[in-house]
Structure 1
Amino acid sequence: MSKPINVYSTPDLRQTLDEALPATFERLGFTQSFKLIDTKLFLGYSIALIAGISFMLDKKWTFEDALTYQKILVGAYVVLSVVFWYFSKYVEKGVKYSGSSGDRTVVVATKMEKHSVNYEVTLRDDRGKVIEAQLAANTVFNEAGYLQSDRLFKWFEEFLGSLVKKAQ
């Protein structure tokens, strides 16, 4: 059983529910995809590599010798930083889970407003069908603050079923 959380803390509720998504979808027969995370890591490490190369050039060469290379590196740094920002803001935008089951792929984005018990879930499949719903967090947590995984599983099972019906 998981550890209890403060059910009156919105960040704790959101984090616990977000962390339960991979296990819940695994029970539903999905395999998690890490493409978004891998892309974000690649961009971040590329930015850090460029900064490191720039630092090394500053230490090893004179200012005049390194100036042309520094201009190129600064340009690459800016471009990658803008791509990273765009990716985080518009491509990833709240995605907490991405997975596939056979020929079917789903992407789950979640959010929870401050001082609210409603966990807003957006489910999108590879066919472009989107369905949104709200889960009242107090229905999947008991009074002691423990997550009731079976209740969460049943809710997502029904939610996923409504996406399948919408796709037909």
Structure 2
Amino acid sequence: MSKLINVYASPELRQTLDEALPGVFSRLGYTENYTLIDTKLIIGYSIALLAGVSFLLDKKLDFQESLTYQKLLVAGNLVLSVVFWYYTKFVLRDVKYVGKSKSSEIKVSTRLEKNDFKYDVMLVKGPNSCVKCVLPANEVFTEAGYLQADLLYQWFQQQLKKA
């Protein structure tokens, strides 16, 4: 049984549905692929590493000795920050799950507008197949606020047949 949520709070509703995606797709024969998340982490750690090097240079060297290095580090930090922003804004845009099966790869993007209880789902299965669908939240939640995982699994199974 799932945890009880307030189905009238859209952030809580979205979070519960997003957290259920790995379980649903593992039942459908997909294994989660973490490449997009790993890339985001590498960029973020690189930004932190540049900040740490900048701090160490500032601590160990005089101002004039470290000035050229600091300028390079600030420029590198700027470039990595822009890359990070672009990556999260345009590449990871609403992507909640990426998975692979023996025969295909799937990317699931979801969206839930504030005060709207329709869960917008976009399933991209391979380069040529894209299905946009809407899941009304009342179809997979009980009145009390429990997620019915079997109904969510059946709904995604039907949508994948369309893809």
Do the two structures share a fold, i.e. TM-score over 0.5? yes
State the 1:3 CA deviation: 1.0
- In the alignment, structure 2 segments of 5+ residues that lack a partner are none
Secondary structure in structure 1 of the residue aligned to 2:99: strand
The answer as to 2:16 corresponding to 1:9 is: no
- 2-structure distance, mates of 1:144, 1:92: 33
Separation in 1 of the partners of 2:69 and 2:103? Answer: 47
- Cα shift at 1:103: 2.9
Whole-angstrom distance in 2 between the partners of 1:126 and 1:152:
22
Matches within 5 A, 1:145-160: 145-160=145-160
Length, aligned pairs only? 163
Tell me if 1:36 matches 2:61.
no
CA–CA separation in structure 1 for the residues paired with 2:127 and 2:44: 30
2:142 aligned with 1:142: yes
Q: Secondary structure at 1:82's aligned position in 2? A: helix
Q: CA RMSD in A?
A: 0.7
Say if 2:2 and 2:148, in contact at 8 Å, map to a contact too: no
Residue in 2 aligned with 1:91?
A: 91
Deviation, structure 1 residue 143: 1.0
Tell me which amino acid in the other structure corresponds to 2:136. A
Q: Deviations over 1:103-133 (max 9, x none)?
A: 3000000000110110000011222321100
The one-letter amino acid paired with 1:57 is L
- The answer to whether residue 78 in structure 2 is matched with residue 78 in structure 1 is yes
> Percent of aligned pairs with the same residue?
55
Specify every segment of 5 or more residues in structure 1 that has no aligned partner in the other structure, as ranges: 164-168
Q: Match of 1:98, SS?
A: strand
Amino acid at match of 2:50: I
- Three-state SS of the structure 2 residue aligned to 1:130 is strand
